[in-house]
C-alpha cells in the first residue's frame, strides 16, 4: 500500500531556558520538518484532578532519518502543525529497506 505523506509536521526538541527568577522553563527548538501520514491509534478519557482529560494516540509514518541526524525525532520531542502537537512516545523503522519510520505519539494542545 503506497504511503500518503500529505501533512507537513514541524519537528521540535525541548530545551531548558532560564525564567529570570532562578528557575527554568521548557521551550521548543525547531529541528526541521517532515512530510507525514498521521493515523489515529486509540482515544481515551483519563481521569485527572480537574475532571476527565481526552488523550489521542496516533501513528505517524514519515521517511526514515538516520539515528545520528539532529532531524530524527526522539521520545519527548514534538511534531506540530496548525494548533496540533504530537509528543513522541517511540520511534522505529517499519519496513525491511529502512525507507520509512513509524512514530508513536500522543496528541497535545499547542498554545
CATH of the domain at 37: 2.40.10.270
- How many angstroms separate the CA atoms of 35 and 37, rounded? 7
What pLDDT is attached to residue 94? Answer: 81
Q: Structurally, how many domains does the chain consist of?
A: 1
Would you give per-residue pLDDT tens digits along the chain (111 residues)?
A: 667 899 999 999 999 988 888 888 989 999 999 999 999 888 777 777 777 777 789 999 999 998 899 999 999 999 998 888 899 999 998 877 889 999 999 987 544
Assess if residue 58 is contained within a domain.
Answer: yes
What pTM did the predictor assign?
Answer: 0.82
Q: Domain residues for 31?
A: 7-109
- How many angstroms separate the CA atoms of 21 and 101, rounded? 41
Assess if residue 1 is contained within a domain.
Answer: no
Amino acid at each position: 500500500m503506497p504511503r500518503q505523506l500529505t501533512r507537513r509536521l514541524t519537528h521540535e526538541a525541548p530545551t531548558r531556558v532560564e525564567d529570570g527568577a532562578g528557575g527554568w522553563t521548557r521551550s521548543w527548538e525547531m529541528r526541521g520538518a517532515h512530510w507525514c501520514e498521521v493515523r489515529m491509534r486509540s482515544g481515551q478519557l483519563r481521569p485527572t484532578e480537574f475532571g476527565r482529560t481526552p488523550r489521542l494516540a496516533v501513528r505517524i509514518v514519515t521517511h526514515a532519518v538516520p539515528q545520528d541526524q539532529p532531524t530524527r525525532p526522539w521520545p519527548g520531542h514534538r511534531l506540530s502543525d496548525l494548533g496540533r502537537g504530537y509528543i513522541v512516545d517511540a520511534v522505529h523503522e517499519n519496513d525491511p529497506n529502512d525507507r520509512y519510520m513509524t512514530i508513536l505519539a500522543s496528541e497535545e494542545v499547542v498554545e
